[in-house]
Structures are given as structure tokens and as C-alpha cells.
Amino acid sequence: MRRIAGAALATALIMVGTMADAATSDYPNRPIKIVVPYPAGGPSDTAARILAEPLGRRLGQRVVVENRPGGAGMIGTEAAIRGEHDGYTLLIGGLASIVLLPAAKPGEYEPRKSLVPLSQVWYSPQILASRRKLGFHTAGDLVAYAKANPGKLNFGSAGTGTVTHLAIMLLSKEAGIDITHVPYRSTALWLTDAMADRIDAGFGDIKTLLPHIESKVITPLAVSVPERAPQLPQVPTVNESGLPGVQTENWFGIMALADTPPVIIDRLKAAIGAAQADPAYAAALEKVGGTAGKTGPAALAATIENDVKRFTPLIRAMAEEPK
């Protein structure tokens, strides 16, 4: 009986192994889903949709984008992590969902253990901007007003725990000013209120803010990286504005789920690399004012590690400060 049971077990294991080999050898044999844990129309959604078409051509399958917004990216990220780790579910992760939220809420989920970096797909500095009727022309004007009127300026963000919220916290700390944070569900929503003079200022991606800057309904005050942005060469950096601690680059990367078979991970890396090397891909990003930044698995992994080291102590220290 033991010999029979042992033989049956061995046969079952061989069958499972054969089925697993078949599942990986013909990958992909059905559409692939990219989960975007943010609303449609934002930079993460735009980056995913620009990548989806050339990636689908390389893989020979349709690549669809599914928006699962909420919780500053937490809801969609957790939903993706709970999915099947078979290469048919990919995820767009960003600074907020991969670095900031785990720092603010340790133990909720551990994205660095649950996800495999494949490539960065979006990079953008943040722009500090104010509603036009305030009459500010520089970041110094805003800081001077905030110091003279503590708590009076209302800053909109894309939500608590997002990079736009982080930028507001950094500005408050660096400039020593008391400002009020008003979380929205997206940058576009606080912009709508700024144009209607219901919110005073905020941070956002160049792609999102640029049309409203060009139409002069909001005023750009500073760009959040050490070098000026090509799209807005007249806008000084935070370093030039005396606010070097307010450096926040917004990035998004495409990731696979941990425990996805290595052969599938390799297939995805190769396909994404080929898609991003296509000049048409770069042209599509440029058309919407974007760039993928530093592409490839190693570059994305390094970005995540650097931001974890940079922001985790800061986020936890701020969380411990008396309100």
C-alpha cells in the first residue's frame, strides 16, 4: 500500500510539474491586465495606456488597463497582490503606494516583498502652483504670506499619503509655515477648485498643471527638482527658491507579482524593454509631456530603495510629531 501511495504521489507531482511547464511555455495565452491603483486620466493611467499597446504587440496578446483607485493607491495595490501570481496581472506602483504608505502604515502590506520591479514608466518633477488671484509670483511670495497669515493658506493634494501630500509636508517643514492640507481624490480635482478660487495652492505633475499654467489660471512658483524643467524654463527650482528640502519627483513603475515563475518574469522584462526601446513609445510619452525616466528592472529597484532610505525616516518622524 505504501508503494502504491508513493507511486500515486509521484505521479501527481509529475502531472503538476507538467501542467506548470505547459502554463509557462505558452505564456501568454490570454489577455494581460495592468492594474492602475489611481483614477483614469492621471499620469499613472496615461503611462500604463501608452505602454499597453506596444507591450501587447511584443507579447502577442491584448494588454488591458484596469483602474482600481482609492486609498492613495493602497486599494488597487492590495487587490493586485492578492491576485494570481501567474504573470497575467501586472501593477503600476509609485512613490506613494510603494514607499510612502508602507512607511506611514507599517504592516499593512509589504510591496517590496510582494512585487518584482520591471521598469519605470513615468517620471516627473512636481510644480508648486497657486491660484492666480492671490498675486504670488515666486515661492518666496507664498512663504512670506503664509508666515504673515498662519493657517490661512489652503493646499490641495491628490489625497492623504500621496506624493503631492508629501510635498506639502516638506514645504511646511522646510519653510517653517503653518498651512492647511485639504486632500482630494486627484490633482485634477483640487485644480478645479483652485480655478474657482476655492483652494489656494498645491503641487502636481507638469503634465497635469501645464495646460492651466499656459491658460494663466494658476501661477507656477517653483519646480521640485534641482534643475529647471524644459517645459517651464522660466520657473525656478526649489533650490533656487531657498527650499532645497522640498525635492519630490513623482515616478511610476510597472511591476509583476512575487512568486511569478522566473521564466515569465524574464519574458516580461524582455517584452517591456523592447516596447520601451521603440521610438514610437518615447514619442507617445513626449506628446503628453512625459518621460519614462530611467527604464529597466535595476533602475526601478534602485529608485525604490533610494526613496525608502530617504523618506521612511521622515514620514515616521512626522507621524510622531505632536499635532
In order of 23, 161, 245, the CA distances from 173 in angstroms are 52, 16, 9
pLDDT digits (tens, 9 = 90+) for 142-175: 999 999 999 999 999 988 888 999 999 999 999 9
Half-sphere exposure of 289 (CA within 13 A, CB side): 15
pLDDT digits (tens, 9 = 90+) for 224-233: 999 999 889 9
109: pLDDT confidence band, cut at 50, 70 and 90?
A: confident
Sign of CA dihedral 239, 296, 188, 102: negative
7 versus 288: the higher-pLDDT residue is 288
Residue with grid cell 502577442, as numbered in its chain: 60
Give the span between the Cα atoms of 292 and 23, in whole angstroms.
31
pLDDT above 70 as % of the chain: 91
Burial 267-306 (b: 16+ CB within 10 A, else e): bbbebbeebbeeeebeebbeeebbbbbebbbebbbebbee
9 versus 142: the higher-pLDDT residue is 142
261: pLDDT confidence band, cut at 50, 70 and 90?
A: very high
Alpha carbon 302 to chain centroid, angstroms: 15
320: pLDDT confidence band, cut at 50, 70 and 90?
A: low
pLDDT of residue 8: 55
pLDDT digits (tens, 9 = 90+) for 199-217: 999 999 988 899 999 999 9
Burial 58-72 (b: 16+ CB within 10 A, else e): bbebebebebbbbbb
C-alpha cell at 60: 502577442
16: pLDDT confidence band, cut at 50, 70 and 90?
A: very low
All domains of the chain in start order, with CATH: 32-122+249-320 (3.40.190.150), 125-223 (3.40.190.10)
Strands 249-257 and 89-94, bridge-based pairing: antiparallel
Other C-beta atoms closer than 10 Å to the C-beta of 322 total 3
Does the pLDDT at position 107 exceed 90? no
In order of 52, 96, 284, the CA distances from 68 in angstroms are 17, 15, 24
Please write down the long-range contacts of 266-274, taking CB distance under 8 Å and 24 or more positions apart: 267/27, 267/59, 267/87, 268/87, 268/90, 268/118, 269/118, 269/119, 269/297, 270/58, 271/55, 271/58, 271/59, 272/51, 272/55, 272/58, 272/118, 272/119, 273/119, 274/54, 274/58
167 versus 323: the higher-pLDDT residue is 167
Residue with grid cell 510622531, as numbered in its chain: 320
